[in-house]
Structure 1
Amino acid sequence: MSTIMKLSPSISLIDGYDSNLTYRTGTYVLHEEKTTLIESGPSPSVSYVLEGLSALNIHPADVAYLIVTHIHLDHAGGAGLLLRHCPNAKLIVHPRGSRHMINPSRLIDGAKAVYGERFDSLFDPIIPVAQERIIELHDRESVNIGEGSTLTFYDTPGHSNHHFSIHDSKSNGIFTGDTLGVHYELLQKEGHHFVLPSTSPSQFDPHALIKSLELIEELNVDAIYFGHFSASYQPSLVFQQIREWLPHFVSQGQAIFDKQGNEKDLAETLHLMIQSELDQKKIPRSHPVYEHIHLDLQVCSLGILQYFQKQVQQ
């Protein structure tokens, strides 16, 4: 059964139960004249999205737009499948990502290299999207979805080169995908605001990420809507926590890379640092948030070490 969070009169969030975990990945629903979804999630999440739409009394045929912030499979892998159920919807995607939605073979190969035998359970099936159903929007372009509701797209690399963030004029909020990291809703529900960078393969660039953060900071938004997961209404705290943790991720990655360590070494080092922080917040080590953090650090560590490998090769 779907879990739906009402974030504002015009924005709902459907939990996609990514990796069979709650509060991990979701699909935003913008209740406007042109019903708009942001993030499909992976294909195994699509059934939850459809259940959520039904619970919100939205017929899939009434969806006008499906937007993906970037084309990593946990955000966009289910787009083709979801569009099969939403016959009138167009897919809005970053110009660097559209060809991979049309032909996802490289996406599939890249994900299999990272996730191995877990690929099928996490992402299968990956269905191509017909070119005529795709809209590319470039930096600072916008689309109107209802009275007083304009979505403006900002190129925000750092997590990936095919990433944009979407400003919503009605809420003065911005959908940031993974650019501003992961917001741990499980901790938020206990009164702890906690955000960590998302540094997954294969285009992580810490310098570009900080520039994207600065761009978003200048917009003076009231809310940040994360791909993982839900909203923060304390943008300044989001910026502070990314600025605090990103240098730790990078410096520890540099040290592990210099010692010719691997992603497991880096994930363990970062886990101990985060655990120390959460110990101070009196979060028990048995808390379910650690399952999320463990999965995130496995992928983040790969991305950081790939970044340093690329620096050597340049």
Structure 2
Amino acid sequence: MKKPIDLGNGVSLIDVYDLGVAQRTGTYVFHEEELTIIETSASPSIPYLLKGLEALGLEAKNIKNIIVTHIHLDHAGGVGLLLEQCPNANVFVHPKGKRHLADPSRLIQGAKAVYREKFDELFNPILPVPEERLFAMEDGDTLQIGENRTLTFLHTPGHANHHFSIYDSRSNGVFTGDTVGVFYPQLLEYGLEFYLPSTSPNQFNPEAMFHSAARLENLNIDRVYFGHFGMSENPHAVFEQLKQWLPKFVEVGERMVNEQPNSSFEEKTNAVFNGLFAMVCAFLDEQRIPREADVYEIIRLDLNVCAMGIVDYLQKR
């Protein structure tokens, strides 16, 4: 595995190889006296997280605060497993996510419905978090870590109702989880800075996503720290690309769903995926990104989940 990345301002990024893929999902580490991390990813990522801490000269037993932006399994599925190594840690979560970390049965049921026979390989085990170690952070709540760093929790629905973003006073940056989408750093070698919305089921809401993004944009931040994957020091591009792509995602979804009103959810999802993938590939072709680039594997994974979220949203609407 690669060494953790030093992002400056006392923040490091550990690649935790979600789904076994590099530069897919990361854990952020604050080098304060009160050792704090944001995101754990799923349980199969925990060995990578522990090795990353070791490479930084840190020990899991010294972690004080574990923060998850939301309870989707690729961000929080490994919390219970990690806690076995962290006797002194508390877990900070959105109020709407707290009960699902204490009793993950519904999370497990939902993930099994989507991932079926791949569930065990991708997510097992999903362990409950003891109630006394769970803290719900309301909109505007703060957490002081070290002398020079205050974290402020901002409720940012759109990707999920149980989502918050975290403003960091020291870096003037925001840890956005999936609120403003996914960053594809694999494309930087081709000179392209590329971000796409994350519209996964089952609480995707484009109006709420726009509102949350506008709220973050108004903070005049210098950095965006993505759940997938890494840091951007160009927030303007992040917000502009979200505004550009999100309406197109919904538009493709509406067109594909309207074309086959009597199809099954799966058939509609496949059609929407094909529409999204063709649109994104056409854009990347214009930018002269070779079709054999590794990034296509990740984009394919992401757009498959995005398609499910869009169909789910349109059917509920």
Asked whether the two chains share a fold, i.e. TM above 0.5, the reply is yes
C-alpha offsets along residues 109-143 of structure 1, whole Å, 9 cap, x if unaligned? 11111111111111111000000011111001100
Q: How far off is 1:191 after superposition?
A: 2.5
Following superposition of structure 1 onto structure 2, how do residues 6-155 of structure 1 map, counting pairs within 5 Å?
6-155=6-155
Match of 1:193 in 2: 193
Aligned AA (1:30): F
Match of 1:265 in 2: 271
- CA pair 106-169 structure 1, distance change in 2 beyond 3 A: same
- CA pair 214-123 structure 1, distance change in 2 beyond 3 A: same
Following superposition of structure 1 onto structure 2, how do residues 146-295 of structure 1 map, counting pairs within 5 Å?
146-260=146-260, 262-295=268-301
Q: State how far apart, in whole Å, the 2-side matches of 1:81 and 1:224 are.
A: 28
Aligned AA (1:208): A
Match of 2:308 in 1: 302
Q: State how far apart, in whole Å, the 1-side matches of 2:113 and 2:60 are.
A: 34
Q: State how far apart, in whole Å, the 2-side matches of 1:92 and 1:120 are.
A: 26
Q: State how far apart, in whole Å, the 1-side matches of 2:214 and 2:154 are.
A: 12
Give the secondary-structure state (helix, strand or coil) at the position aligned to 2:198: coil
Aligned AA (1:264): N
Q: Is the 8 A contact 2:276 2:303 kept in 1?
A: yes
Gaps of 5+ in 2: 261-266
- CA pair 88-2 structure 1, distance change in 2 beyond 3 A: farther
Query: What TM-score do the two structures reach when normalised by structure 1?
Result: 0.97
Give the secondary-structure state (helix, strand or coil) at the position aligned to 1:282: coil
Q: State how far apart, in whole Å, the 1-side matches of 2:203 and 2:291 are.
A: 32
Aligned AA (2:144): N
The share of aligned pairs that are identical, in percent, is 53
Give the secondary-structure state (helix, strand or coil) at the position aligned to 1:247: helix
Give the secondary-structure state (helix, strand or coil) at the position aligned to 1:303: helix
Q: Is the 8 A contact 1:2 1:49 kept in 2?
A: no
Q: Is the 8 A contact 2:9 2:171 kept in 1?
A: no
C-alpha offsets along residues 274-294 of structure 1, whole Å, 9 cap, x if unaligned? 111111111100100000000
Aligned AA (2:69): T
Gaps of 5+ in 1: none
How many residue pairs get aligned? The number is 311
Q: State how far apart, in whole Å, the 2-side matches of 1:223 and 1:117 are.
A: 38
Q: How far off is 1:2 after superposition?
A: 4.7
Q: How far off is 1:9 after superposition?
A: 4.2
How large is the Cα RMSD of the aligned pairs? 0.9
